[in-house]
Structure 1
């Protein structure tokens, strides 16, 4: 998968992205305490996520992908759309983003979110898209609301703790 926004490239996993991803998932407590599972992952957990949840080719559309800065080629974080059943519909997809703190406050989360909203509506032809965030992740909640999603409810999750669920209908 090779897609882009105005400032970012969205790419499937490539070998040269292993270390930046590993460092984000397994060593970056600042970022991971508010995202994904709410903690850094073990190497085994990271390898499982990489093998099972990341898009490893240019054909698949559902899963995690890497985000690079178009100008610098710097690793920004990861994003993606994944299946979820937060609201009782097995066909729902959730978009999300986890950005390295060096890239916070630059509007990248909103840019990525708008990309997934457009992708869900125009490419996947969905009726709605969901997003979920930790109630403590105020920056992500702000970005999600800025994108026009509406908070639906708070839910407990097995692996990710409590999450606020947001929805946008098309």
Structure 2
């Protein structure tokens, strides 16, 4: 299944081999990764993410969706979004945007598009996300997208030489409402919707 989802200002599409440099501009940037669960990535690490995302698109069953975040009408990657399925009709989501794309509502739209993939296309029941306790912008983004704060996972990730907690959020399928202008499809390789 090939994924291409569009919202009012963004689109999510499959990662392509030519996305490495643009993804490095996000994942290699200390500011963009300041609150993520890892330190800035090297070009080799980013290439491995690109390769893994491309390979996972052909897995059957597919359990991981590593997608390029782009501005609508512009195929250039400005961020990376990920949905990974779990047992019990659930998935975890995450995303990172280039700092030039911050403060424009793109984070909220990315979460909406990921939830559309999960609920509308994959038939999931629950989607959850985690953020750094220091990332207040992410808290606002997840709440604006309709998620509910669930709680805190103590010493959840080891990053920058120390254990860090995570604040978790979730959304259930009956709570989700698509944003206006959200379209696109997750289509099969043959192009059928």
With normalisation by structure 1, the TM-score equals 0.82
**Structure 2 Cα separation of the partners of residues 55 and 95 of structure 1:** 18
Q: Which has the higher strand share?
A: 2
Partners of 1:55 and 1:62 within 8 A in 2: no
Tell me what 1:41 maps to: 41
Higher CA-based Rg? 2
Partners of 2:84 and 2:91 within 8 A in 1: yes
Deviates more, 1:74-83 or 1:123-132: 74-83
Give the superposition deviation at 1:162.
2.0
Q: After the TM superposition, which residues 4-153 of structure 1 pair with which residues of structure 2 at under 5 Å, given as runs?
A: 4-26=6-28, 28-37=29-38, 39-52=39-52, 54-56=53-55, 57=57, 60=62, 62-83=64-85, 91-153=89-151
Partners of 2:26 and 2:78 within 8 A in 1: no
- Which one of 157, 165, 168 corresponds to residue 165 of structure 1? 168
CA RMSD of aligned residues (A): 2.4
1:81-113 CA distance string (max 9 Å, x none): 0146xxxx6653111210001000111111111
| Structure 1 unaligned residues grouped into runs of 5+ | none
1:119-146 CA distance string (max 9 Å, x none): 2221111111101111111111101011
Give the superposition deviation at 1:45.
3.2
| Structure 2 unaligned residues grouped into runs of 5+ | 174-193
Higher relative contact order (CA 8 A, sep 6+): 2
Query: Which consecutive segments of 4 or more residues in structure 1 shift more than 6 A?
Result: none
